[in-house]
Structure 1
Amino acid sequence: MAWIVLVLSGLLETAWAIALDRSAGFTRPVASVVFAITLVLSMAGLAYALREIPVGTGYAVWVGIGAVGTALVGMVALGEPANLPRLLSLLLVVAGVIGLKLFH
């Protein structure tokens, strides 16, 4: 169960990062509220997962999911470049996250 919560919390990290960008420095109320809610839920899920998963592994997986998710949303929906070196770099992050899970 802790791993499921950790993955969901990583996805929520992506949501709060995108909402933070969309809040335009907290000048847009809806995006700012979405940021705050997803941030709290993401942190709460991480805290829950860390009761069973070592902090080094859990935090790295959480950050990895959030970073890859945020980069992919940026590429797919926000017009950021999606070139081969960037995609290969994201694959390396994914490989690292999988390795941490497998060798936990």
Structure 2
Amino acid sequence: MAWLILVLSGSLEAVWAAALHRTTQASGRRRIAPAVVFLISVLASTGGLAVAMQSIPTGTAYAVWVGVGVVLTSAYAMIAKVEPATRGRILLLGGIVACVAGLKLVV
């Protein structure tokens, strides 16, 4: 159960990063809805990490949380055309996925 909570919390990390990206308009004004999504998802994400760390070693839990978050955030950025989807970038993100899966196997 702790692993499921950890992966969901990592997914919420991508949600809050995307919401943070959307909080400011081109005119410089702040948007309220993305700011609320940011606050709720960052609290749920770190809360889930704290719960998962009760059963999973701290270093492993943090690495998985960040790994899931960075891969999903990067995927979002590539789909939204904020970052280019180059072969090298996709290959390196695949390496992160492999390393995160490897951490699950050795714990």
Question: What TM-score, normalized to structure 1?
Answer: 0.96
Query: Does structure 1 residue 64 correspond to structure 2 residue 67?
Result: yes
Deviation sequence 1:6-40 (CA, Å, 0-9, x none): 00000000000000111128811110000000000
1:51 alignment partner, SS class: coil
> For this pair of structures, how many residues does the alignment match?
104
Cα distance between partner residues in 2 of 1:103 and 1:12:
24
Uncovered stretches (5+) of structure 2, i.e. residues with no partner = none
Matches within 5 A, 1:83-98: 83-98=86-101
- 1:51 aligns with 54
Question: What TM-score, normalized to structure 2?
Answer: 0.93
Uncovered stretches (5+) of structure 1, i.e. residues with no partner = none
Contact 1:12–1:42 under 8 Å retained in 2: yes
- Larger CA Rg, structure 1 vs 2: 2
Higher deviation after alignment, 77-86 or 45-54? 77-86
Contact 1:20–1:26 under 8 Å retained in 2: no
Higher deviation after alignment, 70-79 or 30-39? 70-79
Tell me which amino acid in the other structure corresponds to 1:10: G
